């Protein structure tokens, strides 16, 4: 009898037990996905969680902080969490991450776990908006010396509203008016805490100042300094030029107005004096005329007597006085060393109780 043997084949599958290991970045605490203040460095804080059911020993993590627009070199860091128990989290803070470029930054934190059963949560990204506030200033200097017509307006950009303004004069807001001359400093803070500091100096024109002078024969001239040219003039007789004529004896007023309507008013006393006599032209003569610093007096009818000589400005001020004794047959008297400013003067002679006058021009 033939015996049949049945061959039974058993397949044994030896399978390694997979550890339920799963870890990743569960949260980026700061910078969050909202605006932050751009500074040279920032502290980057994130959370790594063991989502698995067994402990993890030596979990590596990595950080990259990359500028988005400028293509600058990223700031990188790495480390190892020694022990991460099942279902627990570790908070990691890396201080002084370099964000020195003026840019927005992408903050990346991730883990590398061999045999991670869910790699989808290994990486977490945050790309908050970065605040780079800038200020521009529109200012107006003062129109008139000593007034309060200055103004400053600050325009902010690249930051996040609202803005808080802190001025050196305790003012509030971005637009200041009615300011006197001087230095104004300010600090502007946006909603992320970023600040901008600057200052503005407001200037004022020199004080508008005028003087008026009697030119003689009813004429006068006003001179002006300070303020902002061009100037306009208004005399009390209606004339509108710097030099006027035809004024009467007495006090006359002129008002000067500059480009910004700053004003000054001055007066001048007009004295009209006759300076020609018939006797003067026949008996006493001055030569040369005009002069520089000396002149001679020619006596056409000399007598043994004294002469008082006075020289007056056209405003009636005595600028020179002397007495001379005329000897018989000496018909010339010399006057020198006058050193008078250029202009017109009145020379007055007193001889034997007679008064004679002559106009003298100094070059």
Task: Give the pairing of strands 150-157 and 134-140.
Answer: antiparallel
Higher pLDDT, 275 or 221: 221
Residue with more model confidence, 101 or 207: 207
**pLDDT for residue 15:** 37
pLDDT, tens digit, 9 for 90 and up, residues 135-162 = 999 999 999 999 999 999 999 999 999 9
Residue whose entry in the numeric block shows the structure tokens 């600090």: 187
Geometric angle at alpha carbon 129, from 126 and 133, rounded to 5°:
150
Residues 207-216 have a mean pLDDT of 92
Task: Give the separation between CA 336 and CA 352, rounded to whole angstroms.
Answer: 24
* DSSP label of 291: B
Between 24 and 310, whose confidence is greater? 24
Task: Label residue 283 by pLDDT band (50, 70, 90).
Answer: low
**Residue among 356, 340, 199 nearest 278 (CA):** 356
pLDDT at position 165: 97
0.75 surpassed by pTM: no
pLDDT of residue 201: 98
């Amino acid at each position: 009898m033939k015996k049949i043997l049945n061959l039974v084949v058993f397949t044994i599958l030896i399978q390694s037990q997979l550890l339920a290991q799963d870890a990743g970045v569960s949260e980026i605490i700061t910078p969050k996905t909202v605006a932050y203040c751009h500074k040279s460095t920032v502290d980057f804080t994130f959370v790594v969680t063991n989502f698995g059911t067994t402990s993890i020993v030596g979990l590596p993590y990595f950080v990259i902080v990359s500028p988005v627009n400028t293509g600058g070199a990223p700031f990188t860091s790495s480390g190892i969490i020694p022990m991460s128990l099942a279902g627990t989290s570790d908070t990691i803070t890396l201080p002084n991450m370099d964000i020195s470029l003026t840019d927005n930054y992408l903050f990346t934190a991730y883990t590398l776990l061999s045999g991670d059963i869910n790699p989808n949560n290994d990486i977490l990204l945050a790309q908050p908006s970065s605040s780079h506030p800038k200020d521009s200033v529109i200012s107006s200097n003062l129109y008139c010396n000593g007034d309060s017509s200055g103004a400053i307006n600050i325009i902010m950009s690249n930051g996040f509203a609202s803005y808080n303004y802190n001025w050196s004069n305790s003012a509030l807001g971005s637009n200041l008016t009615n300011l006197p001359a001087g230095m104004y400093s300010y600090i502007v803070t946006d909603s992320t805490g970023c600040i901008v500091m600057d200052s503005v100096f407001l200037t004022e024109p020199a004080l508008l100042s005028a003087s008026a002078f009697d030119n003689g024969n009813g004429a006068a001239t006003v001179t002006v300094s300070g303020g902002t040219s061009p100037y306009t003039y208004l005399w009390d007789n209606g004339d509108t030029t710097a030099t006027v004529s035809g004024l009467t004896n007495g006090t006359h007023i002129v008002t000067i107005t500059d480009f910004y309507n700053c004003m000054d008013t001055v007066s001048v006393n007009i004295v009209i004096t006759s300076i020609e006599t018939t006797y003067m032209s026949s008996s006493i003569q001055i030569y040369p005329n005009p002069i520089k610093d000396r002149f001679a007096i020619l006596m056409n009818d000399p007598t043994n007597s004294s002469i008082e000589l006075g020289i007056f400005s056209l405003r009636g001020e005595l600028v020179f006085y002397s007495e001379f004794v005329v000897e018989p047959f000496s018909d010339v008297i010399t006057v020198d060393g006058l050193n008078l400013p250029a202009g017109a003067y009145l020379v007055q002679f007193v001889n034997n109780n007679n008064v004679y006058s002559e106009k003298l021009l100094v070059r």
